[in-house]
Amino acid sequence: MLNFTVGPVQIQEDILELGKEQVPYFRTDEFSALMKENEKIILSLFDAPENSRSIFMTGSGTSSMEAGVMNFFTAKDKVLVVNGGSFGERLAELCEIHEIPYTQIKLQSGKPLTEEILGSYENKGYTGFLVQLCETSTGVRYDMNMIGDFCRRNNMFLFVDAVSGFLADEISMKKMNINAAITGSQKALALPPGLSVICMDEKAVERCNTNKVHSLYFNLASYLKNGERGQTPFTPAVSILIQLNSRLKELAKDNGKSEHAKIAERASYFRNIIKELPFTVFTDSSALSNCVTALKVNDEKVSAHRLFEVVKDEYKIWICPNGGELKDKVFRVGHIGNLSLSDYDSLAEALKKALAKLEEN
């Protein structure tokens, strides 16, 4: 089996081994020390400013998206939400549910957010900005330096969903003026699903400690308080946190640089070999994320979703189907997780054969 989806992704062997162990009791000094180490390393990977904190949610990436919206914003805010695909849409939905006043910046599918578009929102009294680092559904990477500058000029709180972009695309909380950012275990961290991480600067921590949150499980102030001694308010995903510790210690050796380079290399290798195949990169070429490549099938008679099925059933290879309007037009190939360059050669072969088969019918 070869898995090119964007999560859960392929896990390396030594991390899988750790998952076989019995689950230890966690209210111990040993586990607290491991949690403190996880916090320290993840903050460094996000290049978080001094006095930042991170907390670990037992829940997939969406739990951290929701916790962020609930804890960082209130009905007194007025936020901008970038909606360039299904994950941007989800941020808007969360603002709607939690009654945070918001305006959506709706983008055309596959197109970047530009200086020109942003310009019309300047000095309009917005207090917060919500955006993905990579909009996974279309493979668009947003220009976080531009967004960070915009937020600084306009004194806005910047919350970034970097669930898929973390390690794939550059992120620096310091340089990009990011107040809070999240990621999830089943993306580039290449762990089992079930855990997500929220990194927060001092401002974000202060908001958590001041805002009144109508939730027990999503009250981040209690995670922050418990985290001071390396603990969590409720039973965490102990096994995944242990696997995370091993993964983070490896990433810490060069602060994530070689992992980032590997992901970028896979993306460029794949984009090069598919030039010979009858697909077109769906995403605007100025805004390609290293995380994933979204491809349009040139032959309109061939359904992208059928292609996904044939490649899965006949070659035991998983590419990532799209949903909604793009279901029959676009599919995606991920570059995160434990994959080698030669895996992409195998994929290209399988795509060629599957396409020939579908065109015959």
Residues in the annotated binding site for substrate: 332
Across the beta sheet with 320-321, what order do the strands follow? 279-281, 292-297, 330-334, 320-321
87 counts as binding ligand PLP under rule CB under 6 A = yes
Binding-site residues from annotation: 332
Contacting residue, 61, 236, 256, 334, with ligand PLP by CB under 6 A: 61
What is the DSSP-derived secondary structure letter of residue 27?
S
Q: Is there a contact between 181 and 172 (Cβ–Cβ < 8 Å)?
A: no
Nearer CB in complex with ligand PLP: 251/336: 336
**First vs last Cα of the chain: how many Å apart?**
26
Least CB distance to ligand PLP at residue 194 (A): 9
Q: Is there a contact between 296 and 109 (Cβ–Cβ < 8 Å)?
A: no
Which residue's CB atom is positioned nearest to ligand PLP? 61
Q: Nearest to residue 34, comparing CAs of 236, 209, 193?
A: 236
How far, in whole angstroms, is CA 96 from its chain's centroid? Answer: 21
- Binding window for ligand PLP (CB under 6 A); candidates: 61-69, 119-127, 303-311, 321-329: 61-69
Nearer CB in complex with ligand PLP: 132/219: 132
Q: Nearest to residue 11, comparing CAs of 337, 260, 306, 360?
A: 337
Between CA 158 and CA 1 the distance in angstroms is: 39
Contacting residue, 32, 44, 58, 62, with ligand PLP by CB under 6 A: 62
52 counts as binding ligand PLP under rule CB under 6 A = no
239 counts as binding ligand PLP under rule CB under 6 A = no
Q: Nearest to residue 315, comparing CAs of 274, 284, 356?
A: 356
Contacting residue, 4, 7, 333, 336, with ligand PLP by CB under 6 A: 7
161 counts as binding ligand PLP under rule CB under 6 A = yes
164 counts as binding ligand PLP under rule CB under 6 A = yes
201 counts as binding ligand PLP under rule CB under 6 A = no
109 counts as binding ligand PLP under rule CB under 6 A = no
Nearer CB in complex with ligand PLP: 135/230: 135
Least CB distance to ligand PLP at residue 29 (A): 31
Between CA 154 and CA 236 the distance in angstroms is: 37
Q: SS3 of 183, please?
A: strand
Question: Which phi and psi angles does 291 have, rounded to 5°?
Answer: -65, -40
Residues lying near ligand PLP in the complex (CB under 6 A) are found at: 7, 60-62, 65, 87, 132, 136, 161, 163-164, 184, 187
